[in-house]
Amino acid sequence: DSPEDLLAGLTFPPGFVFGAATAAYQIEGAADEDGRGRSIWDTYSHTPGRTFGGHTGDVACDHYHRYRDDVALMRELGLSAYRFSVSWPRVLPEGAGRVEQRGLDFYRRLVDELLEAGIDPWLTLYHWDLPQALQDRGGWADRDTAARFADYSAVVVDALGDRVRHWSTLNEPMCSSLIGHMAGAHAPGLQDPVAASRAVHHLLLGHGLAAGRLRAAGVESFGITLNFTPMSPATDSPADLDAARRLDGQQNRMFLDPVVSGAYPADVVDDLAAAGAPLPVQDGDLEIIAAPLDWLGVNYYFEQTVRAGARPADKPPTSFIGGENVVELDPEGPTTTMGWGISPRAFTDLLLWLGAKAPGLPLMITENGSAWDDVVDAEGAVHDPERVDFLLRHLAAMTAAIERGADVRGYFAWSLMDNFEWARGYAQRFGLVHVDYDTQRRTVKDSGRVYAEVLRRHREG
Ligand code: PNW
């Protein structure tokens, strides 16, 4: 189908929210300004060998200074909402205790600018940048960090609760815990199954404790954002089926089930105990974690096929506890520059599966997008047909799920603009807007124009 055909076929429910997403460390820069403390991502990115080309978020998109221009760009695209995160070490440089007013003031200015532009702010409290001071005291592997997160949440909601309606506690606790503590490919860069499983539980406990503070503050709505990777077995041999079950358990169900139904999946509990890395659950924790939500944030990028067997030496370390005997297959067909496969069909299936797992819980697509090598042409334009195709096919896949009953209320493209793609540095570009990192010049890509057209048609019916 041509982009025009795909575009013409899209319709969305009335009131559907359209936005774009970013995260503090990926765009803000200004790492040493206004009293900001260090986070685990400052430490990680400044450690030789950790990130592509030694890239760091020190400057990133310089959004801290250019936020007014960036909000103007959002208005130009016609966004009705913007999802961003607050940097914990900007607000509490030591992670706890002393509040840095200048940090809070930045977010107040940003939010006011958004409101003035008619763009609804969707605030995420934690997108991976734990204050280093808390890491030095054990980080997420330490139970106390959950309580510190709740205290930090209370500080932010106290400052911004009068003007931000929609709140999210955590972004992708799977990545913070397992990629950060098991694979070591994200901060804090550990390869320790015991720390990883402790981080899983303490992140979720932190979510539940923060949820209580947000509810008490009377915010209009809040949720949590989880990332999902649908898992399929390579064959229907019992060993491959079991490999897919184990990875689905740790990647998807271990985070979803406690949040929506107050219990870890029994098979995952057994797998982790057998691996010598039990979840450190205490009495009452699961009731806290299962605090009722207003919506579930869903991040979807790709699906994964897996088989049982010894991990070949050329595969990166597994993120999965006890995952040494599971092999991820390379995707079939074209891949993005991240090496991720492309499967809109799996997106439809995921949304229907979530509808069945959590009936009555509205879904917000808080991230979906793709990375490609941008080419800036002689006129300064960026034509990104692959990203246009990815975007339109995934929007169509989402509407297919909505037609079949999935209660999806909104979609945020990842990302508003190219940014610091964590361990992959600036080499991976996910933006609807191109960033020239030498000049900080922003250029709306073809995909950004197509997205603006989708939004315009939706707005004008
Ligand atoms: C998400 N995986 O990360 C994050 O929320 C964003 O900050 C990030 O830029 C974006 O997706 C693109 O990577 C993920 O391996 C990282 O399954 C890794 C995975 C999924 C999401």
Write out the DSSP string of 376-442: B-TTS-B--HHHHHHHHHHHHHHHHHHHTT--EEEEEEE-SB----GGGGGG----SEEEETTTTEE
Ligand 1 centroid – CA 386 distance (Å): 19
Q: What is the mean pLDDT of residues 440-459?
A: 98
In angstroms, rounded to a whole number, what is the distance separating the alpha carbons of residues 43 and 46?
A: 5
**Which residue among 22, 51, 87, 175 is best mutated to probe the pocket of ligand 1, counting the most ligand atoms within 8 A of its Cβ?**
175
Beta-carbon-side half-sphere exposure of residue 183 (alpha carbons within 13 Å): 18
Annotated catalytic residue 172 = yes
Q: Which ligand 1 atom is nearest residue 23's CA?
A: 7
Ligand 1 centroid – CA 369 distance (Å): 10
In angstroms, rounded to a whole number, what is the distance separating the alpha carbons of residues 170 and 252?
A: 15
Ligand 1 centroid – CA 422 distance (Å): 9
Structure confidence at residue 461 (pLDDT): 81
Q: What is the mean pLDDT of residues 98-114?
A: 98
Q: What is the mean pLDDT of residues 277-291?
A: 98
With a Cβ cut-off of 6 Å, ligand 1 is lined by 23, 26, 171-172, 175, 227, 229, 299, 301, 367, 414, 421, 430
| Dihedral angle sign, alpha carbons of residues 84, 87, 91, 92 | positive
Q: What is the mean pLDDT of residues 362-380?
A: 97
Residue closest to 298 by CA, chosen among 408, 214, 201: 408
| Cα 117–Cα 118–Cα 124 angle in degrees, nearest 5 | 95
The answer to whether residue 118 scores a pLDDT higher than 90 is yes
Q: pLDDT, tens digit, for every residue of 207-266? A: 999 999 999 999 999 999 999 999 999 999 999 999 999 999 999 999 999 999 999 999
Structure confidence at residue 453 (pLDDT): 98
Task: Indicate which residue of 367, 379, 386, 403 is catalytic.
Answer: 367
Structure confidence at residue 1 (pLDDT): 82
User: CB of 225 within 8 A of CB of 259?
Assistant: no
422 is in an annotated binding site: yes
* Element (DSSP H or E) covering residue 82: strand 81-85
Task: Indicate which residue of 28, 113, 172, 303 is catalytic.
Answer: 172
Nearest CA to ligand 1 atom 12: 421
Structure confidence at residue 355 (pLDDT): 98
Q: pLDDT, tens digit, for every residue of 126-171? A: 999 999 999 999 999 999 999 999 999 999 999 999 999 999 999 9
Residue closest to 94 by CA, chosen among 155, 30, 24: 155
Q: How high does pLDDT run on average in the chain?
A: 98
Proportion of the chain above pLDDT 90, given as a percent: 97
The answer to whether residue 324 scores a pLDDT higher than 90 is no
Q: What is the mean pLDDT of residues 52-78?
A: 98
